[in-house]
């Protein structure tokens, strides 16, 4: 498979870049498109539709390629993957739950391929992404390959996802690959170092933790992270901005912790909303501020894959939590450059609102403040 990344500030600039990219005989069949301005979607659907190029389109204000971060630009990864080796599915959330959308997507994958792998980009921050994963795996198998990231504008969670045929403001977009024809290597890595003793969720409901070690949850969070993480708006409610990071590290049976950032708090009862949901009895530790070791761990995961599993790749896709963008500052460019250098092939990625991927040999999970990457090689 051959691939090229292009970028532009407007659909007309993308049209020009596309024309230039195919002038040498390159015939892409698939375009991964990332936009900031939702109004650009229809023009881009027309541009790529006229060329017969399938579209996997998302909204992501902060995005990047192997050439670096491109905020505000439209970025596109073009691939000439054989059409029979992939399928694109968009299941809208209207009239269905996240579980149902995931289940339908899983069935579509199993109907299309004996051994499907899924790259997903859901949109709608209000739905349960754990339920989405449960639906996907119930339909397609508990050990299936899943990678991806939640899309949308982090300021208000709005956005669109789109294909050649349809556009949605809330749903599940999936690129389904035939793993018998396309090798996939991927992992979710955080690199965060834990600190302090374990804390226990002692009262909760869905995503809201009311007490931690029988204390009001917000008191415990503030005691470690400080009062300045809480901003009070004009209505008197507050929230914890995701861009201040420092995820909670929840223990798992395998020993590898899963990252769950605190998102919002309710000042009326001092509860905390935790991404992905929590259960009573769950235990977690806080995280230290990031350093170069955090970045090294993420980049090393790709180098280990290159050494042991995939010596060559055609493309690399990266889903990095938007919380890392704010917390890491200029260091995030070092991480992106390191990831791009592993295979030295075209790369595309965005800063997501939650990530999907495998932490180890277990099943794929939904997590936060993590980097999920996936390398592809057509056989």
Do 173 and 98 belong to one domain?
Answer: yes
Q: What are phi and psi of 196, to 5 degrees?
A: 85, 180
What pLDDT score was predicted for residue 228?
A: 56
Q: What is the C-alpha separation between 229 and 263, in angstroms, rounded?
A: 11
- Classify the C-alpha dihedral 131-132-135-138 as positive or negative: negative
The enclosing H or E element of 134 equals helix 129-140
Residues 274, 226 share a domain: yes
Rounded Cα gap, residues 320 and 299, in angstroms: 12
Q: Supply the DSSP symbol for 142.
A: T
Joined tokens for residue 40: 């650009």
Instruction: Check if the beta carbon of residue 208 is closer than 8 Å to that of residue 265.
Output: no
Same domain, 278 and 311: no
Reading the chain (379 residues) residue by residue, the pLDDT tens digits are: 999 999 999 999 999 999 999 999 999 999 999 999 999 999 999 999 999 999 999 999 999 999 999 887 899 999 999 999 999 999 999 888 999 999 999 999 999 999 999 999 999 877 888 899 999 999 999 999 999 999 999 888 899 999 999 999 999 999 999 999 999 999 999 888 889 999 999 999 988 999 999 999 988 988 887 765 555 443 444 555 444 467 899 988 777 888 888 878 888 888 988 887 789 999 999 988 777 888 899 999 999 999 999 999 999 999 999 888 878 888 899 999 999 999 999 999 999 999 999 887 778 889 888 999 999 999 9
Give the dihedral of Cα atoms 58, 351, 128, 261; nearest 10 deg: -170
Give pLDDT, residue 238: 53
- Examine the domain organization and report whether 176 and 307 are in the same domain: yes
168 and 39 in a common domain: yes
Contact 321, 369 (CB under 8 A): yes
Greatest C-alpha distance within the chain? 66
Last residue of a domain, one of 249, 272, 287: 287
Q: Which of 57, 65, 76, 81 is nearest to 173 (CA)?
A: 57
Residues 174 and 296 placed together within one structural domain of the fold: yes
Burial of residue 166 (number of CB atoms within 10 Å: 0-12, 13-18, 19+): middle
DSSP state letter for 369: S
Distance, in Å, from the CA atom of 225 to the CA atom of 245, rounded to the nearest integer, reads 10
CA distance 342 to 187: 14
b/e sequence 299-337, b meaning 16+ C-beta within 10 Å: bebbeebeeeebeebbbbbbbbbbbbbbbbeeebeebbe
**Which of 272, 287, 302 is the C-terminal boundary of a domain?**
287
Range of the domain at 206: 194-287
| 169 and 310 part of one domain | yes
Residues 95 and 154 in one domain: yes
Tokens of 174: 């999936």
Please return the burial class of 373, using the count of CB atoms within 10 Å of its CB with bins 0-12, 13-18 and 19+.
Answer: buried
> How far apart, in whole angstroms, are the C-alpha atoms of residue 180 and residue 298?
27
Domain boundary among 287, 309, 326: 287
Q: Are 108 and 176 a contacting pair, CB within 8 Å?
A: yes
CA distances from 299 to 243, 260, 293, 319 (A): 21, 21, 10, 13
Q: Are residues 214 and 93 in the same domain?
A: no
Distance CA 243, CA 326 (A): 5
pLDDT for position 275: 81
153 shares a domain with 62 = yes
Regarding whether 51 and 97 lie in a shared domain, the answer is yes
How far lies 218's CA from each of 123, 183, 214, 230, 285, in Å? 28, 45, 12, 10, 15
Q: Tell me how far apart the alpha carbons of residues 35 and 259 are, in angstroms, rounded to a whole number.
A: 27
Examine the domain organization and report whether 239 and 122 are in the same domain: no
Count the domains in the chain: 2
Supply 88's token pair: 């694109």
Looking up tokens 């979710």 gives 188
């Amino acid at each position: 498979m051959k691939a090229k990344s292009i970028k532009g500030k407007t659909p007309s600039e993308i049209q020009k870049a596309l024309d230039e990219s195919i002038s040498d005989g390159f015939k892409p069949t698939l375009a991964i498109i990332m936009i900031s301005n939702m109004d650009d979607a229809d023009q881009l659907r027309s541009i790529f539709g006229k060329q017969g190029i399938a579209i996997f389109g998302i909204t992501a204000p902060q995005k990047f390629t192997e050439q670096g971060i491109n905020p505000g630009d439209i970025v596109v990864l073009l691939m000439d993957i054989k059409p029979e080796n992939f399928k694109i599915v968009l299941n809208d959330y209207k009239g269905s739950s996240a579980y149902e959308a995931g289940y339908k997507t899983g069935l579509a994958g199993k109907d299309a391929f004996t051994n499907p792998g899924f790259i997903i980009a859901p949109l709608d921050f209000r739905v349960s992404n754990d339920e989405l994963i449960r639906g996907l795996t119930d339909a397609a198998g508990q050990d299936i390959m899943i990678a991806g990231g939640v899309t949308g504008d982090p300021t208000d969670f709005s956005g669109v996802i789109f294909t050649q045929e349809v556009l949605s403001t809330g749903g599940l977009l999936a690129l389904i690959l035939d793993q018998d024809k396309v090798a996939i290597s991927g992992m979710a890595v955080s690199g965060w170092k834990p600190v302090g003793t374990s804390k226990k969720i002692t009262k909760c409901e869905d995503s809201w933790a009311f007490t931690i070690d029988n204390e009001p949850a917000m008191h415990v969070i503030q005691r470690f992270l400080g009062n300045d993480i809480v901003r009070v708006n004009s209505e008197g409610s507050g929230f914890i901005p995701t861009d201040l990071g420092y995820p909670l590290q929840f223990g798992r049976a395998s020993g590898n912790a899963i990252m769950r950032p605190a998102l919002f708090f309710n000042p009326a009862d001092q509860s905390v909303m935790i991404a992905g949901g929590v259960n009573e009895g769950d235990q977690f530790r806080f995280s230290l501020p990031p350093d170069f070791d955090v970045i090294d761990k993420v980049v090393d995961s790709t180098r280990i894959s290159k050494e042991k599993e995939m010596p060559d790749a055609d493309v690399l896709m990266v889903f990095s939590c938007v919380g890392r963008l704010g917390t890491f500052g200029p260091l995030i460019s070092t991480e992106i450059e390191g990831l791009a250098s592993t295979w030295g092939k075209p790369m595309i990625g965005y800063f997501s609102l939650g990530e999907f991927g495998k932490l180890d040999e277990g099943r794929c999970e939904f997590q936060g403040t993590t980097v999920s990457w996936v390398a592809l090689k057509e056989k």
